[in-house]
Amino acid sequence: MNVATDTCIVINLLRVNRLDLLGALAPYVFHVPREVVEEIEYPDQQQAVQTAIQQGWIQQTRLEDPLELQTFARATAQLGRGESACIALAEKRSWALGTDDSKGAKWKKVISAPGIQILNTPGIILLAVRKGVLTIQQADEIKGILERNRFHMGFASFGDLV
């Protein structure tokens, strides 16, 4: 399953130095459009993303179809370029949308395709636990780091979810 992956997920995984998780969750294939890569501000993070692309953990993609570009243009009136590119890819290619921001009112106005599957950071970590890539303890350590960086999850432990 292809996933158009927004900057928020990339940044969260960069914070915990675990972009490698995206390459370990087959059958999921995580794609970042050029617009997401451009939103990465810090040189060390840019290098880490380039390394992840070189390692095959994530695939860099681009908007090409006129309908994708049309959706992108419509979405950028409400959202950032990275978010808009991911929405265009998810809608027009029937991919999942990898984001932590999809519940906001602006997003609901922009997403027009019915039934887009959303995969967020906690969902990615949970997949890694279920596939044996992470232990519950490792997942909870990642959760703790992210929460200290203002990314709160509404549960006490990944152990409660498996």
Which string of b and e fits 65-96 if b means at least 16 CB within 10 Å? Answer: eeebeebbebbbebbbbbbbbbbbbbbbeebb
Looking at residue 162, its pLDDT comes to 86
If one counts the domains in the chain, the total is: 1
3-state secondary structure of 30: strand
Give the CA distances from residue 119 to residues 6, 22, 116, 125, in Å, rounded to whole numbers and listed in that order: 10, 12, 10, 10
Distance of CA 29 to the CA centre of its chain: 11
Give, in degrees to the nearest 5, the angle at Cα 128 between 10 and 36: 15
Looking at residue 84, its pLDDT comes to 93
DSSP 8-state code for residue 64: -
Looking at residue 46, its pLDDT comes to 95
**Residues spanned by the domain of 16:** 2-160
Q: Which residues pair with 2 in a beta bridge?
A: 29
Q: What tokens appear for 27 in the block?
A: 């059958």
Supply the DSSP string of 95-156, one letter for each residue.
Answer: -EEE-S-TTSHHHHHH--STT--EE-HHHHHHHHHHTTSS-HHHHHHHHHHHHHTT---SSS
Q: Is the full-model pTM beyond 0.75?
A: yes
Q: Residue 53 pLDDT > 70, yes or no?
A: yes
Element (H, E) at 45: helix 43-55
CATH of the domain at 41: 3.40.50.1010
- 102 pLDDT band (50/70/90 cuts)? low
CB 95 within 8 A of CB 2: yes
- 47 pLDDT band (50/70/90 cuts)? very high
**What tens digit of pLDDT does each residue of 89-101 get?**
999 999 999 998 7
